[in-house]
Structure 1
Amino acid sequence: MSPVFGHGRLRLYLLKLLEESPRHGYEVIRLLQDRFLGVYSPSPGTIYPRLARLEEEGLVTHEVVDGKKVFSITDKGREELDERLDELADLEQEISASVRDIAREVKEDVRDTVKSLREELTKMAKDVRTGQKADIQRLKEEQKRQWTQNVSSWQGESERLKHEWRRIWGDIWTTIGGVSPNRVELDNELGGMLADFVGKVREEASESQLTRERLEEVRKTLDTASRQIRDSLG
């Protein structure tokens, strides 16, 4: 029980509530809950025995309405209430102070809860950012690994193309009559140079951001190189 109602003060406050209006037991309990913002909630085992004792002393009486006992204060009860008006005034002040203390505690609890929630949300946001950074780092590492594999594959492909180019050029020139062995050797070497060039271009492309605009620049550069090669062989 709340310390406000020590030393018989609950008895006094029950008389006050019944002096305001006849009430049944659960209505008295609800009024006390409301008065103390739900923090103090007397049980039926606390209220009903006291109402019964007040009735035994002739301070209250009851009648049954819709199956419920409705208690009312008697003239004797009003006399006791009038005799204890000063004590009742002190009790009202103490109840008001208790309610203010309860409201302050509730406000502090809400503030602490909001602060805790804010800190938790901040931590969650930080964890999300940390996780995103980790995911980005893993993605970068995976891209780097994939590029390394591609470069290795392209280098192997370059070597294969070089040998294949030399073989093709060798087959072509050996089937043409009157072609000197020196020309076959030179053409094979030219094929190897072209294969090396393709391999280097692929390797450079793997290390840069290839876009449609850059590809068009590469095409122009190749056209220029092709004309220069043609002029040098003309």
Structure 2
Amino acid sequence: MSPVFGHGRLRLYLLKLLEESPRHGYEVIRLLQDRFLGVYSPSPGTIYPRLARLEADGLVTHEVVKGKKVYSLTDKGREELERRMDELAELEEELSASAQEFARGVQEDVRQTVRSLREELTQAARTMRDQGKATSKDAWKETTERQKDEWKRQKEYWREQKRAWKEEWRRNWEDAWKTATGTREDVARLKLERLLRTFVEDVRAAATTARLDDDDLAAAQTLMEETRERLRAEVFRTDGS
């Protein structure tokens, strides 16, 4: 995966990520890991010096939030991103091809998993037959069910990974295209959609480790409804109808 980011292209992709939303260095690393499903995992020694160089070139700036440097795109950075939009589109196409190659690898992993499970089942059958125990039938059934469950779990996991990968790249491509061709209002709506996605992802991540009861859920619902109404009244200036 790393050759895709040769010749200054990682620099370009960092500009794209910061155009989507201000981020600190660790968020950039984590986002790259997530988007490439761990296949490409840059080190801090790769990302932080490039962020510092972008800042030295006047393309990004930072502010310290809770002890962390949060980087955001400057007007000069947006101008470079817009100027290199054709190159960004080409990069997205190459990354999409890499995603397809990865998906083919996933399919091969699934096939290999199936082959391994079949071999294990065959070996288990031989073992049961050789032992000739009265409990061999029950043991065989238990082994079969266990292997089937594992096969289903592996198959579902890789199917979900492929779906997430394809959806992420579809979204990235559409976002890049809208940014390049849309009106100012279209770009503003696109940025709002990105903010909403990030908000939902952050809340979902926090909820995975939280112990929620009915009162917590009611409080969360109330907060979300209040936020929705404030956005309608103070930002969107609609009556909610």
TM bucket normalised to smaller? 0.5 to 0.7
Letter in 2 for 1:6: G
Identity of aligned residues (%): 80
The answer as to 2:58 corresponding to 1:58 is: yes
Structure 2 equivalent of residue 45 of structure 1: 45
Q: For 2:87, what is the secondary structure of its paired residue?
A: helix
Structure 1 equivalent of residue 10 of structure 2: 10
CA–CA distance in structure 2, aligned partners of residues 114 and 63 of structure 1: 51
**Paired residues, number:** 133
Measured against aligned partners, the alpha-carbon deviations of 1:153-180 in whole angstroms (never above 9, x if no partner) come to xxxxxxxxxxxxxxxxxxxxxxxxxxxx
**Deviation of the 1:127 alpha carbon:** 1.9
List aligned pairs for 1:37-116, cutoff 5 A: 37-116=37-116
**Deviation of the 1:92 alpha carbon:** 0.7
Structure 2 equivalent of residue 192 of structure 1: none
Structure 2 equivalent of residue 210 of structure 1: none
Measured against aligned partners, the alpha-carbon deviations of 1:18-70 in whole angstroms (never above 9, x if no partner) come to 01110111111111111112111111111001001101111101001011110
CA–CA distance in structure 2, aligned partners of residues 72 and 50 of structure 1: 14
Structure 2 equivalent of residue 153 of structure 1: none
CA–CA distance in structure 2, aligned partners of residues 26 and 96 of structure 1: 24
1:18–1:73 contact (8 Å) kept in structure 2: yes
**Deviation of the 1:107 alpha carbon:** 2.0
**Deviation of the 1:101 alpha carbon:** 1.1
Measured against aligned partners, the alpha-carbon deviations of 1:170-194 in whole angstroms (never above 9, x if no partner) come to xxxxxxxxxxxxxxxxxxxxxxxxx
CA–CA distance in structure 1, aligned partners of residues 7 and 57 of structure 2: 18
CA–CA distance in structure 1, aligned partners of residues 84 and 77 of structure 2: 11
List aligned pairs for 1:1-234, cutoff 5 A: 2-132=2-132
Please identify the structure whose Cα radius of gyration is greater.
Answer: 1
Stretches of structure 2 lacking an aligned partner (at least 5 in a row)? 134-241
**Deviation of the 1:131 alpha carbon:** 2.2
CA–CA distance in structure 1, aligned partners of residues 44 and 106 of structure 2: 26
**RMSD (CA atoms):** 1.3
1:37–1:99 contact (8 Å) kept in structure 2: no
CA–CA distance in structure 2, aligned partners of residues 109 and 79 of structure 1: 43
TM-score (norm 2): 0.53
